[in-house]
Structure 1
Amino acid sequence: MVSSISTASPITWRAHLGAVARLGLPLVGSHLAQVAIGATDTLMLGWYGVGALAAGSLAASVFNLLMIVGAGFAFAVMPLAAGAATRGDDEQLAGVTRMGFWLSALYALLVLPLMFWSGSLLFFGQDPAVAAGAQSFLRIACWAMFPALFAMVIKSHLSALERTRIILLVTLMAAVFNGIANWLLIFGKLGFPELGLEGAAIASLIAHGATLGGLVAYSRVSPRASRRGLFEGFWRPDWACCQQVFRLGWPIGITLLAEAGLFAFSAILVGLLGETVLAAHGIAIQLASISFMVHLGLSQVATVRAGQAMSMGDLVSLRRGAVVVAACSVSFSMLAIGAFVFSPEFLIGLFLSADDARSPAIVPIAITLLTAAALFQLADGAQVVALGLLRGVQDTRIPMIMAAVIYWCIGAPAGYVLGFHGGFGGPGVWFGLVVGLGLAAVALSLRFIRLLPQR
């Protein structure tokens, strides 16, 4: 518990900032490279056609929603592995990681049918052509769920060992593979068939597989990583570790579902307003996702540093680390706000073909949505960093309840009312997101502050 932490051997402010830079920059870079896979899909599908862009955006929202929920077990591995690594407990470190793989595989099997038959199960009320295209995408992309979740588990393991540079390198390589595969398969270049939307799905599958392959290869040959016995006795269960990962992981997954589900719900609501608005939403959400990846990387740094401080019994370092990570998040938020407010036409233009007759109708809608995205930058960063700190101190159940209530009892209804009854359309749905994220940021930050003993 947090109350058991002592104030022995505090780490200096400068050391905390150095640790955030050392761990955070590669993690942030890797998340940006990861989202580049989705951004590249959106970019090239936008060049291919607005219909493909709308279907791809809808399918990506569903896939990302399901993936981020399953990532709860990978996120649970991170604080457990960080504490084990700090104590020098190699058996515990390897055990929680292996059980993270087991639980992730089980989850991927459970959601596979949902994606394969998504047309009738998930896309009721959408434009028939868009729904059919989204299902075609997911019937290929669903197989990427396994390598995507496994890669996230290995990333948590390596982050606990402070081996984050390799995560950045491998993810960058996968993003390059995805871009090349998209170019070849969407447009049919160099003799490859022109597959359009399905080509983008195949490219994403290749990228996730390449990420997993690169991380597994490193984990087997790196002296520091391989000596931990990560793959030794892989099929041997460790029920104590499995219970630990499951206990922390399922509330994290539900919390992620509450947040990601709010965004997926917004995509479905916007889809009811028409293909043009949905295409604008797809562009704006990609840009907002890029900035969010920076906060997500900082959140993972917060989890690792908090887990290390817990293991050392160092309350002062826990507090200082929280302040440093929060300050970095706020600083980046200001940069993102400036980009969204002062350069929206340039950013939106990257995702549209000048030859598409519908592009002029999409741009003003997307500009308005980016204004809303700018409004929730501070709130989004604050709430995800607070969640990272709470996971680091192994507090996941109460934050799960708080997030679910705020996102779905306040944020989602606000978006629906503003969008459909307030006459604001797509921007109204996004302003509902602002309300939910802002309240969550305040509540979760106060939760972390109140958990810390005042000494």
Structure 2
Amino acid sequence: MAHSEMTYGAHARAVLTLGLPLVGGHVAQFAVNLTDTVMLGWYGVDELAAVVLGGQLFFLAFILGSGFAFAVMPLVAAALADEDETLIRRTSRMGIWLSVIYGLVMIPIFWWSKPIFVALGQDPALSEAAQSYLRIAGLGIVPALIIMVLKSFLAALEHTRVVFWITVLAAATNALVNYALIFGNWGAPELGIIGAAIASLVVQFVMVTGAVIYTLGKLPQYDLFTRLWKPDFDAMKRVFLLGVPIGFTTLAEVGLFAAGAVMMGWLGTVQLAAHGIALNLAGLMFMVHLGLGNAATVRAGNAYGRHDVEHLARGARVAIFMSLAFAVFSIIVFITWPEWLMSLFLGRDDPNFDIIIQVGATLLLAAAFFQFVDGAQALALGILRGIMDTRVPMIMAAISYWAVGVPASYFAGFVLGWGGVGVWVGLGLGLGVAALLLMWRFWVVRIAEMRNAAPVEA
């Protein structure tokens, strides 16, 4: 059967075969951060708020640098369709180069992060604790970015199960080290937030080691680490030009939620802690959309490499439908069990338990409001990356998240006086505008251009 003649059922099976391990990998990766939040929530609200604050800065820097890794995925997928092993190797190596350079630049920012938090209106004591966390956990940004490149390399080659198992190993390691070092169990010292930082650093090195061993053992034909020291400026330029818009696009979205965290911090430590828990729960659901989006990127990249427009369109419809179906499930969960979900992150003896549960449950109801649009914008971005379209989506995302989402959050939260719920309504509005613009970009503009054999804009 020709690729363009695949039935929707065949597309669905292909997306699930590729996407489910990626979803599992994203969920396991998210579990690393989730474990920090849960265990520090048991340890103390102040420590939880500090990690929410410090974790947001780390994630902002990490997600910007991840643009190079995300660029590797469609480039390798397209090269695989052309059976160009040399280009696969060159692209992946330079993705590692750019990621390491970027990570080294970010470490000093983490080391002296307290003034940044204070300038954003955060409590000085909370800022000091967040900086202490980042001075250890921030060192992990280099291995974290390397593992992102290796994950993209493996996913594009459809070796997705190993990505899942490596991440599961990392999540289990994080839970064990957290349990020992945060609370002082098994004879270890009680380090609180510093223990969580050490655990996060250990996890990054565990993941890199696992991915390197697998690549050397199972994919020796690509010689990925041979002459790794040698720069390849042509391949580096390709990864850079595709990766920078991807990084800024993702940064714009993550920055929207980071701005939301800053605004919640203005409302108080309790509100910020509740926001962190609710955001973790919403983020856990988002990992499914992200995994489907990654699968869509790989499949779109393969179709793009073969110039098969109908295969691309059918595959996109299937992936988007799957995302919408999961959004329905997410909404049901958030509306049905908000208080119980929030209670998983807190100790019952915490003096702020009741108020955090109350605030967080309300935020989860607001989160249910944007499940459809959050998934839709993630899938649209994934498909557009697969066809090497990143510049215009970057502009669309920046407008949606920052010209619409952030002002709407401030207006609803503080001018209208809706508080935390208003902040989250604004977040949902920004995501909704992004979903509409990006879907229009793919279905109305790019599909028409490709059918008319118009030049493709990277």
Please report the TM-score for the alignment, with normalisation by the length of structure 1.
Answer: 0.97
Matches of 1:156 and 1:345, distance apart in 2 = 37
| Counterpart for residue 57 of structure 1 | 52
- Local SS of the residue matching 1:71: helix
| Counterpart for residue 139 of structure 1 | 135
| Counterpart for residue 393 of structure 2 | 399
Cα root mean square deviation, aligned: 1.1
| Counterpart for residue 445 of structure 1 | 439
**Structure 2: any 5+ residue segments left out of the alignment?**
453-458
Matches of 1:374 and 1:133, distance apart in 2 = 32
Matched, 1:116 2:132: no
The runs of 4+ residues in structure 1 deviating greater than 6 Å are none
For residue 83 of structure 2, the aligned residue among 58, 80, 88 is 88
The residue identity in structure 1 corresponding to 2:338 is: P
- Would the aligned equivalents of 2:47 and 2:192 in 1 still touch at CA under 8 Å? yes
| Counterpart for residue 232 of structure 2 | 238
Matches of 2:149 and 2:240, distance apart in 1 = 13
For residue 180 of structure 2, the aligned residue among 155, 178, 184 is 184
- Would the aligned equivalents of 1:10 and 1:314 in 2 still touch at CA under 8 Å? no
Matches of 1:358 and 1:345, distance apart in 2 = 14
- Would the aligned equivalents of 2:4 and 2:309 in 1 still touch at CA under 8 Å? no
| Counterpart for residue 301 of structure 1 | 295
| Counterpart for residue 262 of structure 1 | 256
- Local SS of the residue matching 2:186: coil
Correspondences of 1:164-175 after superposition (within 5 Å):
164-175=160-171
User: Displacement, 1:104?
Assistant: 0.5
Name the stretch that deviates more: 28-37 or 237-246. Answer: 237-246
| Counterpart for residue 40 of structure 2 | 45
| Counterpart for residue 420 of structure 1 | 414
- Cα 1:85–1:163, aligned 2, differ >3 Å: closer, same or farther? same
| Counterpart for residue 282 of structure 2 | 288
Matches of 1:200 and 1:166, distance apart in 2 = 26
Matches of 1:318 and 1:409, distance apart in 2 = 31
How many corresponding residue pairs? 447
Correspondences of 1:7-406 after superposition (within 5 Å):
9-124=4-119, 125-222=121-218, 225-406=219-400
User: Displacement, 1:9?
Assistant: 4.3
Matches of 2:348 and 2:339, distance apart in 1 = 13
- Cα 1:424–1:91, aligned 2, differ >3 Å: closer, same or farther? same
- Cα 1:412–1:19, aligned 2, differ >3 Å: closer, same or farther? same
User: Displacement, 1:122?
Assistant: 3.2
The residue identity in structure 2 corresponding to 1:434 is: G
Matches of 1:211 and 1:402, distance apart in 2 = 34
The residue identity in structure 1 corresponding to 2:413 is: G
User: Displacement, 1:11?
Assistant: 2.7
- Kindly, what percent of the aligned residue pairs are identical? 50
Q: Deviations over 1:30-62 (max 9, x none)?
A: 000000000000000000011111111111111
Q: Deviations over 1:65-102 (max 9, x none)?
A: 11111100000000000011121111100100000001
- Would the aligned equivalents of 1:42 and 1:351 in 2 still touch at CA under 8 Å? yes
| Counterpart for residue 4 of structure 1 | none
- Would the aligned equivalents of 1:10 and 1:315 in 2 still touch at CA under 8 Å? no
Matches of 1:48 and 1:202, distance apart in 2 = 16
| Counterpart for residue 428 of structure 2 | 434
Matches of 1:415 and 1:244, distance apart in 2 = 36
- Would the aligned equivalents of 1:337 and 1:374 in 2 still touch at CA under 8 Å? yes
Matches of 1:320 and 1:122, distance apart in 2 = 46
Matches of 2:99 and 2:343, distance apart in 1 = 38
Matches of 1:325 and 1:123, distance apart in 2 = 43
User: Displacement, 1:177?
Assistant: 0.1
- Would the aligned equivalents of 2:410 and 2:426 in 1 still touch at CA under 8 Å? yes
The residue identity in structure 1 corresponding to 2:10 is: A
Matches of 1:444 and 1:71, distance apart in 2 = 20
Q: Deviations over 1:163-221 (max 9, x none)?
A: 00000000000000000000000001111110000100111111111111101110011
- Cα 1:130–1:8, aligned 2, differ >3 Å: closer, same or farther? closer
| Counterpart for residue 455 of structure 2 | none
User: Displacement, 1:121?
Assistant: 2.1
Matches of 2:328 and 2:4, distance apart in 1 = 34
Matches of 2:287 and 2:204, distance apart in 1 = 17
| Counterpart for residue 456 of structure 2 | none
The residue identity in structure 2 corresponding to 1:24 is: G
- Local SS of the residue matching 2:383: helix
User: Displacement, 1:392?
Assistant: 0.4
- Would the aligned equivalents of 1:12 and 1:317 in 2 still touch at CA under 8 Å? no
Matches of 1:10 and 1:64, distance apart in 2 = 41
Matches of 2:202 and 2:370, distance apart in 1 = 33
Matches of 2:209 and 2:369, distance apart in 1 = 39
User: Displacement, 1:8?
Assistant: 7.2
Matches of 1:429 and 1:305, distance apart in 2 = 36
Matches of 1:313 and 1:21, distance apart in 2 = 23
- Would the aligned equivalents of 1:11 and 1:316 in 2 still touch at CA under 8 Å? no
- Cα 1:108–1:192, aligned 2, differ >3 Å: closer, same or farther? same
Matches of 2:296 and 2:5, distance apart in 1 = 16
Matches of 1:386 and 1:439, distance apart in 2 = 12
